[in-house]
Structures are given as C-alpha cells and as structure tokens.
Amino acid sequence: MKTKITKVLKITTLLFLVMVMIYQLLLSDLNPMFKRDDFIAIKEEINKSKNEDFKHFLNLYNKIYNQKSIKFYSLKNSKLGFPKDDCPCLDVARYYGANNLRNFKIPFVKILYTLKIEKEFSQEDCLKLILSKADLLYDNEGIKEASLYFFNKKIDSLNERELLELIIMLENPILFDPKRNREIRQNKILVYEKFLEKIK
C-alpha cells in the first residue's frame, strides 16, 4: 500500500514539475508568439501611455472596479455587484491583434498574451492604455478628448457625475452616449451614485 502511495506521489510531483516547466517556457521570451508584430505593438503602446496622468479619474474608477490579474479575474463579478472585477491587461490583449490571429485558438492566445503582459506591466499600466485609446464616439480617442468634447473641461476638472458619464461610456459607448439614451444613461449613473454613497 505504501509503495502505491509513494508511486502516486512521485508521478503527481513529476507531472506538476513538467506543467510548471511548460508554463514557464510558454511565457518566456523564447516563445515566438511574443515576437509577433501585434504583441510588440501592445508593449510599445503600453510604454507610451503608462506615464499619462489620470489620477483624478482613477480615484473614482478604482472605487467601482477592482483591478485583478487574469488568474483571479471573475467574469461574473465583472458584471454583477460592486466593486466590479476588472482585468485591464486582458482587455488590452482583446483590443489588439490577438482577435485576428487565425493560426491559434483565440482564447489560448488571449490568455497567454495577458499573462505575458502581466509579467512586464501592472494592471494600471494597461488601464492607462485603454483610457488613452478608447473609442468614445464622434472621433474622440481616449477620455481626455472625450472630456473636452462632452463637457468642455479637462479631465482633472470634471465633477463626480461627469466622471461617471465617462466611466459608463467605457463600458458601452453607444448605449451610454451622452447625446442619446438619456434615461438609460441616467439610470446607470444613479446605480453607481448609490453605491458610492454607501462606501463614503
């Protein structure tokens, strides 16, 4: 009996070590996937935007969203309840070329891209790229342009309600377009305001 248990433990340990080695290899610079143009472009764009100043916006955003690694990210909790789970590095992997790769199973590519990005950048670095590049309608790229367009103010001058307008636009810019769908937009903002009031 002891011999069988010992064998099982040895096999389990060996399998675990092999899996760890495969994992490390997949995320190493030896993986040719990370030499692809689209992945290199992701890293370049994150580096360009990581020094952007979004402090005023993030002070409110981070009360609503928990930024988590893909290892702990819950899709369910990203849609229901507060604070919501958020994995900006996963969103960056989705936004860039991984969606267009045909030689790989797409979910596998997105996960590998995300894990590799998380090794080199923080979730906030990835979020800053999203905030800089998000398509917020009417030729507005990023929240700074959207702030000037919709409110005629710089991002660091917006009040809480105006910041919430931009936050919900990041979720769905067409549905929460400030020029349309007034009732839907106001109802969504009211939900967020009630949550923020509770945690004050």
Q: What is the pLDDT of residue 36?
A: 86
Q: Is residue 115 part of a domain?
A: no
Residues of the chain with pLDDT under 70: 1-2, 74-81, 96-106
**3 located within any domain:** yes
Query: What pLDDT, on the 0 to 100 scale, is given for residue 130?
Result: 96
pTM (two decimals):
0.86
pLDDT averaged over every residue in the chain: 87
Report yes or no on 24 lying in a domain.
yes
Backbone angles phi, psi at 197, to 5 degrees: -65, -35
pLDDT at 96: 67
Range of the domain at 18: 1-30
Is residue 2 included in any domain, yes or no? yes
Residue 66 CB partners (closer than 8 Å, separation 6+): 83, 84, 85, 86
Angle, CA 43 vertex, CA 142 and CA 99 arms, to 5°: 75
Cα angle at 61 between 63 and 83, to 5 degrees?
40
Report d(CA 165, CA 186) in Å as an integer. Answer: 9
- 145's CB contacts (< 8 A; 6+ apart) are 136
The owner of tokens 């267009």 is 100
Count of the separate structural domains present in the chain: 1
